[in-house]
Structure 1
Amino acid sequence: MRTLSFGTVLRRGLAAGLAAGVAGSVAALLIVEPQIESALVVEESRAAGGASGHSHDGELVSRVMQVFGGLVATVAVALCLASIVAVVFASTRHLLPGRDDFRRAGLLAGLGFVVVALLPAIRFPANPPGVGDPATVNQRTGQYLSFIIAAAALSWLAVLVHRRLAGWSRPEPLRAVVATAVAIIGYALLLALWPATAVEVPADIPAVLLWEFRLASLAQLATMWTVLGVVFGLLLTPAKVAGRRPVLADTA
């Protein structure tokens, strides 16, 4: 395994994070924002009808600035996630299964998507504006964050199981099957047993809008994590010059 300095991994991870943030922002603008606009229309109608809600006419921040702020926040979140992925990769590269860094980076990004996006989306599905009780936000946030930590621990356990089986000279297909089974069983138990405060959906929120928003939110995260894994893996892959050995610039 060729040597990679921590600085090299971190810089390339942040570059991949920037690309992921831009891709996530484009996805948010194209597929999530229309669902938010539809939800805001419902919320405006609710306020106009005298039900609980609020009007957006007197808001200090315009809708355009809110959208712009959301896009900037997406890039910032992607950079933070990328830095975490880079640190984890640099620390556990020798433990991650895969024949090269592209596959290892892809595996780590895939686990990140499962832990941070897919599993929470199943247990704590995203909701559009106008859904959710503000009084329970702290409780739900604690449940959400602790769930992610537990899912990350299960993923790490699966990686360690794969590594231990390698130490016992077990064949790669068996190691992959056992490690995957450990992860799936652990995830299933986590989804079934982890506490989640129920969120009441107002009757004026169409079911189609609710599920389209949830799917759009998950698609945005999938886009971001996919770009992060692919770009990070490509940046870690040594360049090849025709007729020469791969050029490694990993010690800078």
Structure 2
Amino acid sequence: MYASTVRNLLVRGMLAGLIAALFAFAVAYSLGEPQVDASIAVEEAAAAEEAAHAGHGGAAAEADEEEELVSRAVQSTAGLGSGVLVYGVALGGIASLAFCFLLGRLGRFTPRATAAITAAAAFTTVFLVPFLKYPATPPAVGNPDTIGKRTTLFFLMILLSVLLGIAATIAGRRLAPRLGNWNATLVAGAGFIAAVTIAFVFLPSNEDAVAKGFPAAVLWEFRLASLAVQAVLWTVFGVAFGFLAQRLLTPRETTVPAAAEGAPTPA
């Protein structure tokens, strides 16, 4: 693939990521932010109760009066929007490079179908598999002393998932001549699931990620919202980037001018 084509696909991938991020922001704001507000309210109520039992009610009231550096309204609008947009553009660019590598190597798929496969694979390896092991938790929930350890484990799970996905893809390609595309895909997929299961068993769990007594309904709805945001992000990206890549890579049909009167008609 020519460097100019890769560059054009990269630009289109970032544009598709931007479009997908706009849809993801709408879902995050409408579904995720109410659960964040609910979790903050739970944490504040627990802190106030603990301060009252400890006899530090006055100090707690004083702390509440302190002005926030960034208001909650700004966090839930401009802060959330800018974060999601940057995230979408960056992942769109990375996914477009993965598309350049996969195009033509998975079989005779069109650019649109390859874009859909790339988006589905990215959603599975980058989000879904790590999410199943270390589900998302609302901010300000859990032990702050272990946040570094929990973040390290989460990114380790992402790295393992991506590497296992690449290994499964390579194994499927090598098995295809002997087993056929369908059987090779099934074998590679089963191997990926088995390897991920082993990683789930041996990696430690985040037992202190959620505070005891935290409402299960709020936690469940927050995790569903996180899943919905990522699903919308990658679905819209796959559709948008597939359309843009198809237009770029598929040669346009040229119309043959009508034959002049008396000219021989081409066969």
Q: TM-score range by the shorter chain?
A: 0.7 to 0.9
Aligned counterpart in structure 2 of residue 164 of structure 1, from 146, 170, 174: 174
SS at match of 2:93: helix
RMSD between aligned residues: 2.8
User: Which amino acid in 1 is paired with 2:37?
Assistant: E
SS at match of 1:88: helix
SS at match of 2:205: coil
Which has the larger Rg? 2
Distance 1:184 1:232, change over 3 A: same
The residue number in structure 2 matching 1:41 is: 41
The residue number in structure 1 matching 2:207 is: 198
SS at match of 1:195: coil
The residue number in structure 1 matching 2:262 is: none
Give how far 1:201 is off: 2.9
Aligned length: 244
SS at match of 2:253: coil
Alignment of 1:136-215 (within 5 A): 136-166=146-176, 168=177, 170-215=179-224
Distance 1:200 1:83, change over 3 A: closer
Q: Are the counterparts in 2 of residues 44 and 56 from structure 1 also a CA contact under 8 Å?
A: no
- Render the CA deviation track for 1:70-93: whole Å, top value 9, x for unaligned: 121011011111111112222332
User: Which amino acid in 2 is paired with 1:88?
Assistant: A
2:59 is aligned with 1:30: no
Q: What is the TM-score normalised by the length of structure 2?
A: 0.82
The residue number in structure 1 matching 2:126 is: 116
SS at match of 1:99: coil
SS at match of 1:20: helix
After superposing on structure 2, the runs of 4+ consecutive aligned residues of structure 1 that deviate more than 6 Å are 1-4
User: Which amino acid in 1 is paired with 2:22?
Assistant: V
Could you tell me how far apart the structure 1 residues matched to 2:64 and 2:181 are?
59
User: Which amino acid in 2 is paired with 1:235?
Assistant: L
Could you tell me how far apart the structure 2 residues matched to 1:226 and 1:97 are?
22
Could you tell me how far apart the structure 1 residues matched to 2:181 and 2:101 are?
23
User: Which amino acid in 1 is paired with 2:220?
Assistant: W
Mind listing any 5+ residue stretches in structure 1 that lack a counterpart? 247-252
Distance 1:56 1:129, change over 3 A: farther
Give how far 1:2 is off: 11
SS at match of 1:49: helix
The residue number in structure 1 matching 2:243 is: 234
Give 1 or 2: higher helix fraction.
2
Could you tell me how far apart the structure 2 residues matched to 1:123 and 1:97 are?
32
Q: Are the counterparts in 1 of residues 102 and 114 from structure 2 also a CA contact under 8 Å?
A: no
Could you tell me how far apart the structure 2 residues matched to 1:239 and 1:213 are?
39
The residue number in structure 2 matching 1:250 is: none
The residue number in structure 1 matching 2:259 is: none
Distance 1:199 1:211, change over 3 A: same
Mind listing any 5+ residue stretches in structure 2 that lack a counterpart? 55-59, 256-267
Distance 1:165 1:56, change over 3 A: farther
Q: Are the counterparts in 2 of residues 102 and 236 from structure 1 also a CA contact under 8 Å?
A: yes
Distance 1:186 1:121, change over 3 A: same
Q: Are the counterparts in 2 of residues 38 and 209 from structure 1 also a CA contact under 8 Å?
A: yes
User: Which amino acid in 2 is paired with 1:224?
Assistant: L
The residue number in structure 2 matching 1:223 is: 232
- Render the CA deviation track for 1:186-222: whole Å, top value 9, x for unaligned: 2222222223342253344211111111111111111
- Render the CA deviation track for 1:72-122: whole Å, top value 9, x for unaligned: 101101111111111222233232345211111111111111112111111
